[in-house]
Amino acid sequence: MNRTIAALFDLDGVIVDTESQYSIYWNNVGVKYLSDPDRFGDKVKGNTLRQIFEKYFSGREEIQQEIVENLDKWEHDMSYDYIPGILDFLNCLRKNDVKTAIVTSSNDVKMANLYREHPDIKSYFDVIVTANQISRSKPDPECYLLAAKLLDADIQNCYVFEDSLAGLAAGRAAGMTVVGLSTTLPFSRIEDKADIVISDFREFDFDKLMSIKRS
């Protein structure tokens, strides 16, 4: 059995504190294009652009293009502050020979904005999986299974860190141990969808990760 341990991290709401900014953008999209005042951002959280367009804007190419152009501008100007404790935790994983990956629904254009603000972020991860590398998005487990394959890690030794319902479901469907972060949704919304829920990475280390019991 391959004994490689791997930690697989969603990006928004897990590594960087951006979800509230996305909620503002997508809520505005819902009001403008769908006459939907009921927090459209919550409905599309964790979905790729392709999923959003297929479900809500199918056949409306001009609107899709407007949304993409406006989203690119929005992401360019967003702040990408780290979730508290994440860098210390990543360094701790490195010291314990844990392989790491970013597994995100973001595309390569968005990632370029992240790299511009945090040019050192790539050094913390062995693999980065984006929306451009997969055909099926969360809650499908394809992205996490791909990351495990690229890291040469058995799924039994993989730990998924997620904040969204779609992401948590993807980790479960992949058969991996799931750590939920209550950075985006309250504890009560995700506690039954993860093996453990944490508020952020402060006071969370390798030993606590290894003590998690899979449900």
- Check whether residue 191 and residue 130 sit in a common domain: yes
CATH number at residue 149: 3.40.50.1000
* Core vs surface per residue 162-179: b (16+ CB within 10 A) or e: bbbbbbbbbbbebbbbbb
Backbone angles phi, psi at 99, to 5 degrees: -75, 150
Q: What is the mean pLDDT of residues 31-48?
A: 83
Domain stop point among 59, 77, 95: 77
137 within a domain of the structure (yes/no): yes
114 within a domain of the structure (yes/no): yes
Spatial strand order of the sheet with 99-103 comes to 127-129, 99-103, 6-9, 158-162, 177-181, 196-198
- What the block records as the tokens of 83 is 């979730």
40 within a domain of the structure (yes/no): yes
pLDDT at position 1 is 61
- What the block records as the tokens of 195 is 């093996």
pTM (2 decimals)? 0.91
pLDDT tens per residue, range 172-185: 999 999 999 999 88
- Check whether residue 98 and residue 146 sit in a common domain: yes
Give the pLDDT band (50/70/90) at residue 43.
Answer: confident
Q: Please tell me the total count of domains within the chain.
A: 2
215 within a domain of the structure (yes/no): no
The Cα–Cα gap between 35 and 29 comes to 9
Are the beta carbons of 178 and 162 closer than 8 angstroms? yes
124 within a domain of the structure (yes/no): yes
pLDDT tens per residue, range 93-149: 999 999 999 999 888 889 999 999 999 999 999 999 998 898 888 899 999 999 999
Print the domain residue range for 109: 6-17+80-210
